[in-house]
């Protein structure tokens, strides 16, 4: 890192060009090798899928043969025939058993013959004259005695002098457990001779590459079938599998003078193998043209980058050096000089921007003094605006005097409603602007009475009020304007909207817990359940949400917050309401006489 910081710009650019050239060349080699590997892997995966498909088809083919043998072996008639020693009874069953086996053979076109051999080695159901020869060659090759519960696929049997074509066998011993002692007794054996021609269809015309080879080998390494028909029936050299290690099923061997990639799938049911051999050079033939083209393009790009890099370095370093010399000159002089460059590229634009920056610096210096003067003038104007705003506010005493004027006009014109409203309003206004935060409850009730007189005039016979406050409560102290907003809510939101006459009830008493409790109830419209739920949530949030302390209204949230700030828990208000039946607001505060708790 220290070496890089000491290098000149030209050396750094040369280093970047060199590294870029090396990276392009390295990436080209890397991507070619990766692409080569991916192509080979893709071919291997494709071959594996083909082998898996062929394996599944061969297993299905073998399972059908096995099912046919089991169906013949476990047939009741077959068991009766093999277990009986009565020649007449067996003669009667002979035809039935042969018909059963003929039906099973007819249902599976891959079966050449089904033979039932009793424990005396007599054949039942030899449907072809050659069956006796086939069975003789089978027993001669394998010398197979009767084994209990043995089920097995055997390899190829062929005698060119007696047989037209090779035969493959499935052997199943037939046993019975019907004896009274529950022991297994041997009844005979079932031998199925099956055809392999159907397997030719599964691998014919499957050529991954022109010289690839796909074949199926039996347990003796005879080629059962292959995609090259000339190899069918021949013996395959086992040394091909000599390079396999452990459980590996993939390796590379030399075959037909070519290096081949070999994949082998074992078919355990038959003890056969499916073998795929693909010449490695054919797996990547398509890459040769890409490789040659890639090397040519990479060489051309490398040369191009070197030439263009040198031209780029020259085009950058010369103008850049001139800019550096100009900046050094400006820093040591008065700054009135400007950089002149006729280049139309980014360096020319950089020179233009440097000149503009110098112009803006000069303008900024000229504006700095003006800005200082303007700032002083703005502060002065702000103070004057604040003073004007204070002077334009309404004087509360002016409003009080206005109400007195209205009252005098009402008296002069003998309109007693105006007199009473103005008188009550003046009392309420004077009460609301008192400096004391805490007042006696009887003062709060006087304010409510004044408000009720105004509402009675406005809503003639609309509602009646019932006030019940214990005498010992009236002398206690309460935060100012706590009860009146609740009464106002009850009238405007409850009784005003009610059809017919309503009732407003105000109660106040001291509970057994020495708590002052007020209940303000109406039989008005009530609050819908959803709105009531939201209101209770907001009242609960008001216990801790500081934002409610700045609200200007005297609503329920403001009242809740004021009580919590003044007295803390568990004091506050609760709201209960039933839609179209009424609302009840309960308020609890501690007992307070002469002491006035400071609002928190």
SS3 275: strand
State the architecture of 74-195 in CATH terms: 2-Layer Sandwich (3.30)
How far is 208 from 36, CA to CA, in rounded Å? 17
Whether 272 contacts 216, CB under 8 Å: yes
Q: Which of 119-133, 481-495, 537-551 has the highest mean pLDDT?
A: 481-495
Task: Give the pLDDT of residue 399.
Answer: 63
Task: Give the pLDDT of residue 33.
Answer: 73
- CATH 3.30.450 domain extents, the chain: 74-195
Task: Give the pLDDT of residue 313.
Answer: 73
344 pLDDT exceeds 70? Answer: no
- Tell me the pLDDT tens digit for each residue of 409-447: 777 777 677 777 878 787 887 777 776 778 899 998 998
User: What pTM value is reported for the model?
Assistant: 0.45
Task: Give the pLDDT of residue 600.
Answer: 39
Q: Which of 29-33, 125-129, 318-322, 585-589 has the highest mean pLDDT?
A: 585-589
Binned at pLDDT 50, 70 and 90, residue 109 comes out as confident
Whether 488 contacts 557, CB under 8 Å: no
- Tell me the pLDDT tens digit for each residue of 151-204: 888 878 887 777 777 888 888 888 875 554 555 677 888 888 888 888 887 777
- Tell me the pLDDT tens digit for each residue of 452-465: 888 888 887 788 88
Percent of the chain predicted with pLDDT > 90: 8
Task: Give the pLDDT of residue 390.
Answer: 42
146 pLDDT exceeds 70? Answer: no
Helix H or strand E segment including 207: none
Binned at pLDDT 50, 70 and 90, residue 286 comes out as low
How far is 111 from 194, CA to CA, in rounded Å? 4
- Tell me the pLDDT tens digit for each residue of 38-62: 777 777 787 888 888 888 888 888 8
Cα 229 off chain centre by: 54
137 pLDDT exceeds 70? Answer: yes
> DSSP class of residue 222?
B
Domain 437-590 has CATH 3.30.565.10: yes
| N-term to C-term CA, the chain | 62
Task: Give the pLDDT of residue 518.
Answer: 95
- CATH 3.30.565.10 domain extents, the chain: 437-590
Task: Give the pLDDT of residue 26.
Answer: 78
88 pLDDT exceeds 80? Answer: yes
391 pLDDT exceeds 50? Answer: no
Task: Give the pLDDT of residue 551.
Answer: 39
**Dihedral sign from CA coordinates of 293, 297, 302, 303:** positive
Task: Give the pLDDT of residue 541.
Answer: 77
* Close Cβ partners of 340 (under 8 Å, ≥ 6 residues apart): 351
Point out the least confidently predicted range of 96-100, 281-285, 382-386, 401-405.
382-386
């Amino acid at each position: 890192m220290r070496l890089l910081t000491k290098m000149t710009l030209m050396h750094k650019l040369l280093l970047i060009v060199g590294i870029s050239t090396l990276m392009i060349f390295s990436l080209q080699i890397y991507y070619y090798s990766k692409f080569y590997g991916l192509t080979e892997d893709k071919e291997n995966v494709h071959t594996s899928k083909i082998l898996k498909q062929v394996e599944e088809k061969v297993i299905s083919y073998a399972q059908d043969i096995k099912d046919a043998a089991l169906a013949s072996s476990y047939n009741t008639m077959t068991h009766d025939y093999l277990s009986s020693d009565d020649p007449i009874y067996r003669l009667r069953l002979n035809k039935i058993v042969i018909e059963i086996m003929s039906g099973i053979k007819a249902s599976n076109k891959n079966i050449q013959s089904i033979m039932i051999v009793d424990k005396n080695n007599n054949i039942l159901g030899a449907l072809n004259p050659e069956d006796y020869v086939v069975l003789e060659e089978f027993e001669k090759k394998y010398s197979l005695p009767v084994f209990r519960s043995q089920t097995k696929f055997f390899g190829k049997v062929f005698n060119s002098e007696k047989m037209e074509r090779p035969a493959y066998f499935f052997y199943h011993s037939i046993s019975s457990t019907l004896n009274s002692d529950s022991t297994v007794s041997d009844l005979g054996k079932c031998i199925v001779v099956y055809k392999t021609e159907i397997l030719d269809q599964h691998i014919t015309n499957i050529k991954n590459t022109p010289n690839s080879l796909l074949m199926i080998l039996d347990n003796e390494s005879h080629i059962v079938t292959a995609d090259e028909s000339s190899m069918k029936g021949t013996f395959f050299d086992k040394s091909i599998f000599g390079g396999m290690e452990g459980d590996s099923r993939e390796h590379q061997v030399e075959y037909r003078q070519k290096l081949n990639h070999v994949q082998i799938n074992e078919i355990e049911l038959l003890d056969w193998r499916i073998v795929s051999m693909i010449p490695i050079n054919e797996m990547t033939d398509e890459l040769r043209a890409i490789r040659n083209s890639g090397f040519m393009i990479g060489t051309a790009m490398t040369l191009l980058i070197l030439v263009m890099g040198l031209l780029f370095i020259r085009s950058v370093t010369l103008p850049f050096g001139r800019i550096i010399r100009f900046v050094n000159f400006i820093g040591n002089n008065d700054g009135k000089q400007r950089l002149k460059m006729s280049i139309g590229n980014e360096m020319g634009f950089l020179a233009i921007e440097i000149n503009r920056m110098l112009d803006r610096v000069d303008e900024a210096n000229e504006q700095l003094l003006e800005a200082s003067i303007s700032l002083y003038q703005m502060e002065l104007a702000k103070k004057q605006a604040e003073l004007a705003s204070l002077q334009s506010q309404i004087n509360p005493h002016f409003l009080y005097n206005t109400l007195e004027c209205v009252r005098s006009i009402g008296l002069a014109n003998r309109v007693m409603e105006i007199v009473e409203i103005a008188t009550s309003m003046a009392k309420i206004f004077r009460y609301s602007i008192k400096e004391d935060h805490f007042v006696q409850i009887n003062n709060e009730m006087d304010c409510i009475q004044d408000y009720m007189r105004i509402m009675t005039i406005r809503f003639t016979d609309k509602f009646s009020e019932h006030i019940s406050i214990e005498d010992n409560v009236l002398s206690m102290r309460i935060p100012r304007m706590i009860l009146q907003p609740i009464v106002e809510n009850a009238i405007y939101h409850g009784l005003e909207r009610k059809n017919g006459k309503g009732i407003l009830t105000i109660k106040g008493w001291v509970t057994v817990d020495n708590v002052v409790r007020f209940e303000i109830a109406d039989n008005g419209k009530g609050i819908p359940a959803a709105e009531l739920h939201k209101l209770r949530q907001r009242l609960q949030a008001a216990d801790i949400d500081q934002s409610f302390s700045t609200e200007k209204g005297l609503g329920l949230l403001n009242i809740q917050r004021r009580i919590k700030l003044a007295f803390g828990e568990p004091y506050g208000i609760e709201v209960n309401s039933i839609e179209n039946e009424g609302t009840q607001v309960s308020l609890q505060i501690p007992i307070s006489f002469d002491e006035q708790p400071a609002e928190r």
